[in-house]
Amino acid sequence: MDQIILYLDKLEAYSIMPYAVPVLLSLVVVEWIISTRKKIKIYDPKDSAAATVIGLTNVGIGLLLKTINFTFLLFFFTLIPWRIPTEWWTFILCFIAIDFFRYWAHRIAHEQRFWWATHVTHHSSKEYNFTVSFRLGWTQYIKIIFFVPVILMGFDPIVFFLCHQIAVLYQFWIHSPIIQKLPAPIEFIFVTPSNHRVHHGTNPQYIDKNYGSTFIIWDRLFGTFEPEGEKVVYGITKPIKHPYNPVYLNFHEWMDIWSDLRKCKSFKEGWNILFGPPGGPVLETAPLPENVQAGKDKIAPSAAKPAA
Global pTM value: 0.88
Q: At what angle do helices 2-11 and 157-173 cross, to 10 degrees?
A: 30
pLDDT computed for residue 300 by the predictor: 39
* Model pLDDT, residue 289: 55
Q: What is the pLDDT of residues 68-94, one digit of tens each?
A: 998 899 999 999 999 999 999 999 999
Residue-wise DSSP of 242-292 = -TT-HHHHHHHHHHHHHHHHHH--SHHHHHHHHHSPTTS-SSTTPPPPTT-
Check residue 3 and give its pLDDT. Answer: 65
* pLDDT value for 282: 64
Summarize pLDDT for 157-212 with one digit per residue, the tens: 999 999 999 999 999 999 999 999 999 999 999 999 999 999 999 999 999 999 99
Q: Which amino acid is at 203?
A: N
Predicted confidence at residue 66, as pLDDT, reads 85
pLDDT of 63 = 83
Q: Which residues sit opposite 215 in a β-bridge?
A: 190
Give just the sign of the alpha carbon dihedral 166, 148, 86, 71.
Answer: positive
Q: Which residues of the chain have pLDDT under 50?
A: 293-308
Confidence (pLDDT) at 294: 43
Which residues are CB-neighbours of 74 under 8 A, at least 6 positions away? 3, 4, 7, 157
Task: Map out the domains of the chain as residue ranges.
Answer: 2-222
